[in-house]
Chain A
Amino acid sequence: DGGITQSPKYLFRKEGQNVTLSCEQNLNHDAMYWYRQDPGQGLRLIYYSQIVNDFQKGDIAEGYSVSREKKESFPLTVTSAQKNPTAFYLCASRGAGGRTGELFFGEGSRLTVL
Chain B
Amino acid sequence: AQRVTQPEKLLSVFKGAPVELKCNYSYSGSPELFWYVQYSRQRLQLLLRHISRESIKGFTADLNKGETSFHLKKPFAQEEDSAMYYCALYSNYQLIWGAGTKLIIKP
Contact = CB atoms under 8 A, between A and B. Distances in A.
Given A43-B97, A101-B32, A101-B34, A90 B86 contact: no
Given A41-B99, A48-B93, A48-B94, A106 B43 contact: yes
B106 interface: no
A100 interface: yes
B94 A58 contact: yes
A50 B90 CA distance: 15
Given A101-B88, A102-B46, A33 B34 contact: no
Contacts, number: 44
Contacts of B100: 40, 42
Consensus secondary structure, chain A interface: strand
A31 B93 contact: yes
B11 interface: no
Contacts of A45: 94
A102 B34 contact: yes
A90 B95 CA distance: 14
A52 interface: no
A50 B88 CA distance: 19
A108 interface: yes
A100 B44 contact: no
Interface string A28-69: 000101000000111111001010000000100000000000
Nearest to B90: A101
Contact of B95 (A40, A103, A106): A103
A74 interface: no
A48 B96 CA distance: 13
5 contacts: A48-B93, A48-B94, A50-B93, A105-B43, A105-B44
Interface of A: 31, 33, 40-45, 48, 50, 58, 90, 92, 99-103, 105-108
